[in-house]
Amino acid sequence: MIVVMKIGADKEQLARVLETADELGFSPHIIEGKERNVIGLVGIAGQRDKVNVIGNMDGVDKLVPISKAYKLASKEVKPEPSIIDVSGVKFGGVNIPVIAGPCSVEGEEMIIKTAELIKAAGASMIRGGAFKPRTSPYSFQGLEEEGLKNLAKAREVTGLPFVTEVTNPRYVDMVYKYADMFQVGARNVQNFALLSELGKTDKPVLLKRGMSTTIEEYLTASEYILSEGNKNVILCERGLRTFETATRNTLDISAVPVIKEKSHLPIMIDPSHAAGHWQYVGPLSKAAVAIGADGLIIEVHPDPAKAWSDGAQSLTPAQFKELMDSMRTIALAVGRTI
Ligand code: PEP
Ligand code: MN
């Protein structure tokens, strides 16, 4: 249920509604709008009488039921797009930030060198996995805390914030200490214990879509973070598992306009895990900018042939720079900047 406050309702009226909702056992979430505030009430099933108490309070305009399975992520609750600030880098506005870096952190020198090169090309953030969710338990699993320290060093040298994956609720506190944004990988999009844990923190979460998750399931998964109080969620389409084998996954580019219609959360594209081959990363990235994506996350490695993971889909720093230049032209044509 959404509680729509009247235009001009004052702070005291809002505070009283929040307090009452809390006393009645709901979890109220305030969503500040330009014109008026609305409050999302979660946990109201079968409690119509209690909800009506709130409907009759001073300053309340109306109660609107939320028809979708997802609530706090929906446009019904918040019609304006959300802008998520990650240590000063803003996702969801006119600018389209580009995150770049290797699939896995392979050591301090390597991540610093990559960070310097992607910064020179115009990237806004570093990516790099320290905990790797590999398909096989026999593949390299990441440098763990040492990798986080390496990323922190690269941030210190370049000033670029970083995103890194967290694969398990027991690592949330450790990753929190270092990262500017948590990444939840495609394989963990429905790891609800992990999502709830991240919802209790105040750091942004880059939540990737699963390889076989419908948009409705995806947005509903984001509720596990939002309903715990963390409103800083950025979505990311990274390709679906289909019958096609020429690419690693099939990029569902239509997820961008669909999600923009249904949700206020920023939606990014990961062209690298969709393509699986570096040759396709450029065309998919340009399509992402043209269709209105709010950011990109691209794998870049100083020497892709020697990468410990995902070398085949990684761009060299020179290829990345060239791509950044061509994406800038497309961004201008659609009224955005990179
Ligand atoms: C990654 O970003 O390196 C990764 C493992 O991505 P995904 O979860 O989309 O497969
Ligand atoms: Mn990867």
Q: Which fold has domain 84-333?
A: TIM Barrel (3.20.20)
Q: Is the CB of 186 under 6 A from ligand 1?
A: yes
Name the residue with the closest Cα to ligand 1, atom 5: 185
- Give CATH 3.20.20.70 domain extents, the chain: 84-333
> Which residues does 208 contact at the CB level (< 8 Å), separation at least 6?
183, 184, 185, 186, 189, 236, 238, 270
pTM assigned to the model: 0.93
Local confidence band at 25 (pLDDT 50, 70, 90 cut-offs): confident
Ligand nearest to the CA of 211: 1
Compute the average pLDDT of residues 214-226.
Answer: 97
Local confidence band at 31 (pLDDT 50, 70, 90 cut-offs): confident
Strand intervals (E) in the chain: 2-5, 27-32, 37-42, 60-64, 84-86, 89-91, 98-101, 125-127, 162-165, 181-184, 205-208, 233-237, 267-269, 296-299
Nearest Cα to 110, choosing from 297, 317, 302?
A: 302
Ligand nearest to the CA of 311: 2
Q: Is the CB of 129 under 6 A from ligand 1?
A: yes
Q: Residue 152 pLDDT more than 80? A: yes
Name the residue with the closest Cα to ligand 1, atom 6: 185
Distance (Å, rounded) from C-alpha 163 to C-alpha 278?
21
Q: Which of 34-38, 97-101, 171-175 has the lowest mean pLDDT?
A: 34-38
Distance (Å, rounded) from C-alpha 26 to C-alpha 16?
14
Ligand nearest to the CA of 274: 1
Local confidence band at 125 (pLDDT 50, 70, 90 cut-offs): very high
CA of 185 to the centre of ligand 1 (A): 5
Q: Residue 329 pLDDT more than 80? A: yes
Q: Which CATH number fits domain 2-64: 3.40.190.10, 3.30.70.1140, 1.10.940.10, 3.10.450.50?
A: 3.30.70.1140
Q: Residue 182 pLDDT more than 90? A: yes
What is the position in ligand 1's atom list of the atom closest to the CA of 309? Answer: 3
Q: What is the pLDDT of residue 34?
A: 77
Name the residue with the closest Cα to ligand 1, atom 10: 186
Edge-to-edge strand list for the sheet holding 27-32: 27-32, 37-42, 2-5, 60-64
- Give CATH 3.30.70.1140 domain extents, the chain: 2-64
Q: Is the CB of 103 under 6 A from ligand 1?
A: yes
